[in-house]
Amino acid sequence: MTRIIALSGSLRSGSWNTRLARALAERAPGDCEVEVVTPAGIPLYDGDLESKEGIPSAVEALKDRIASADGLVLVTPEYNQGVPGVMKNTIDWLSRPPADISRVFGGRPVALCGATPGGAGTRSAQHALLPTLRALGAQVWPGKTLYLSRAAKVFDDQGAVIDEDIDKGLVDFIEGFHRFAAGE
Ligand code: FNR
């Protein structure tokens, strides 16, 4: 069984990115389990907080989940053509302390995707994550891109995917990344 963590970079209850993460999880092949997580409970990074209280328990728990998984999907929203602070803050906490970076990110297969209600599909945010992932030593999946635009036309109110072409694209994406994460 291959285990993949899908981290949505949004805290919003109606988040398109969390819906996208769930849609990928639902389409994972039988020998692949995708666990959807969000940054809920993770505070703003503060070096004083880290010095006084150490790594927050929500961060430690997420670090352990990623470290024990075969792959990580970052499902990022896009704000002002960049990575939303909530997503970057989460990655920054996950990189603490530096001695743990290789356990969490080193050689870790990472796929990038994201959703927007407009036309951009998070292309800029995904590209902006690349230097960070390189700095952390992750292995970015070069297989497929997933820039999901016009999200309101893709999902219904229950989060089901109503666009057949997108449905097939999501299956291809998670099947392809599953093979990469499994080392095939
Ligand atoms: C946005 N949004 C946005 N969309 C986009 O395609 N490119 C952008 O640069 C921006 N910029 C931006 C800035 C700020 C501050 C906000 C709040 C929003 C719209 C954004 O894609 C939309 O709010 C999504 O719904 C956010 O993702 P979730 O929360 O639905 O997952």
> pLDDT tens-digit profile of 105-161?
999 999 999 999 999 999 999 999 999 999 999 999 999 999 999 999 999 988 899
- Give 176's strand partners: none
pLDDT on residue 114: 98
Query: Beta-carbon neighbour count of residue 118 at 10 Å?
Result: 11
Alpha carbon nearest to ligand 1 atom 24, residue: 116
Mutate to test the pocket of ligand 1, among 74, 78, 126 (most ligand atoms within 8 A of CB): 78
Residue type, 86: V
75 within 8 A of 121, measured Cβ to Cβ: no
Residue written as tokens 């599953």?
178
The response to whether residue 117 sits with its C-beta less than 6 Å from ligand 1 reads yes
Residue written as tokens 């080193």?
106
Percent composition of the chain: helix, strand, coil (DSSP 3-state, to 5): 45, 20, 40
Query: Which run of H or of E encompasses 177?
Result: helix 164-181
Question: What is the three-class DSSP state of 40?
Answer: coil
> pLDDT tens-digit profile of 42-90?
999 999 999 999 999 999 999 999 999 999 999 999 999 999 999 999 9
> pLDDT tens-digit profile of 19-46?
999 999 999 999 999 999 999 999 999 9
Residue written as tokens 């997108």?
166
Mutate to test the pocket of ligand 1, among 116, 123, 154 (most ligand atoms within 8 A of CB): 116
Say how far apart CA 172 and CA 6 lie, in whole Å. 16
Say which residues have a Cβ less than 8 Å from residue 82's Cβ, sequence separation at least 6.
124, 125, 128
pLDDT on residue 157: 87
